[in-house]
C-alpha cells in the first residue's frame, strides 16, 4: 500500500506514521510538507492508494490546494485532515469531491476506521455533517426556485430595485420574496442573510 501524507507539521506526520502502520505493516508512506511538493509527488508516483491532505499549509492554501490535488490525483481517494471542525468546512470539503474528512482531534481508532472506509469505497465524514446537510435541505425546501435565485442576487450585494430589474419583477414582489427568504433563513437583515447563505453554501446555481 502506498499513501501520501501532506502536512506541514513534522510532529503530526510522525504520529500519523504509527497510526498508518496499523493499516499495513508493509505500507510505503510518502510525505510532503506543502501543496506544491505534494503535487510534484502526485505527478511522479503512479501507484498511490490514498492521499491524506491537511487544509492549512504554506504556499497554496485551503481548498485551492484540495482542488489541485483532486484534479492531479484523478482516481486516487483523498481524505482531508484538519483541525477545523466547523460543519460548513466539512460540508464544503464534501462538495468539492473529497472522499473523507478526518478531524485531528479524532483518536487513532476513529482515524483508522475512516481510512478503511474510504479505501473500501465508502465515503467517511463526521456524523455532524449529515445534520448540516439536512439543515441545508430543510431551508432549500422552504424556498421556491425564484426565491433561491433572489437569494443568490442578495449574496452578490444587489438591492431590491436591482433584483427587480434583473428578474423583470416589481419591487413589491421582490420585497415579499425577500421577507420569505429571511424567515426561511432565520435572519433579520441582508448582511445576516448573506452570511447564512455563504455559511450553508446555498445558492441558486447549485440548488435550483
Q: Is the dihedral of CA 11, 15, 18, 24 positive or negative?
A: negative
Residue-level pLDDT at 24: 83
* Complete domains list, the chain, with CATH: 2-126 (3.40.50.2300), 132-207 (1.10.10.10)
Residue-level pLDDT at 129: 52
Q: What is the pLDDT of residues 66-107, one digit of tens each?
A: 999 999 998 899 999 988 878 778 888 888 899 999 988 888
Q: What is the pLDDT of residues 166-182, one digit of tens each?
A: 999 999 999 999 999 99
Q: What is the pLDDT of residues 103-120, one digit of tens each?
A: 888 888 889 999 999 999
Percent of the chain with pLDDT over 90: 43
Residue-level pLDDT at 187: 87
Show the cell assigned to 92: 464544503
Q: What is the pLDDT of residues 139-164, one digit of tens each?
A: 777 888 899 889 888 888 889 999 99
**What pTM did the predictor assign?**
0.63
Q: What is the pLDDT of residues 18-60, one digit of tens each?
A: 889 888 888 999 999 999 999 999 999 989 999 999 988 878 8
Amino acid at each position: 500500500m502506498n499513501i501520501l501524507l501532506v502536512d506541514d507539521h513534522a510532529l503530526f506526520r510522525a504520529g500519523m506514521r504509527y497510526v498508518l502502520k496499523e493499516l499495513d505493516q508493509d505500507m510505503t508512506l510518502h510525505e510532503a510538507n506543502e501543496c506544491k511538493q505534494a503535487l510534484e509527488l502526485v505527478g511522479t508516483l503512479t501507484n498511490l492508494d490514498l492521499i491524506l491532505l491537511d487544509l492549512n499549509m504554506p504556499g497554496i492554501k485551503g481548498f485551492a490546494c484540495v482542488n489541485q490535488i483532486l484534479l492531479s490525483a484523478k482516481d486516487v481517494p483523498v481524505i482531508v485532515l484538519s483541525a477545523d471542525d466547523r460543519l460548513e468546512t466539512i460540508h464544503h470539503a464534501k462538495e468539492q469531491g473529497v472522499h473523507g474528512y478526518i478531524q485531528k482531534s479524532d483518536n487513532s481508532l476513529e482515524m483508522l476506521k475512516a481510512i478503511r472506509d474510504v479505501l473500501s469505497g465508502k465515503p467517511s465524514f463526521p456524523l455532524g455533517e449529515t445534520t448540516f446537510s439536512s439543515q441545508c435541505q430543510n431551508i432549500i425546501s422552504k424556498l421556491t426556485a425564484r426565491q433561491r435565485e433572489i437569494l443568490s442576487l442578495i449574496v452578490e450585494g444587489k438591492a431590491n430595485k436591482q433584483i427587480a430589474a434583473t428578474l423583470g419583477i416589481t419591487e413589491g414582489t421582490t420585497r415579499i420574496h425577500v421577507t420569505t427568504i429571511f424567515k426561511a433563513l432565520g435572519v433579520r437583515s441582508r448582511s445576516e442573510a448573506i452570511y447564512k447563505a455563504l455559511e450553508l453554501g446555498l445558492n441558486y446555481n447549485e440548488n435550483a
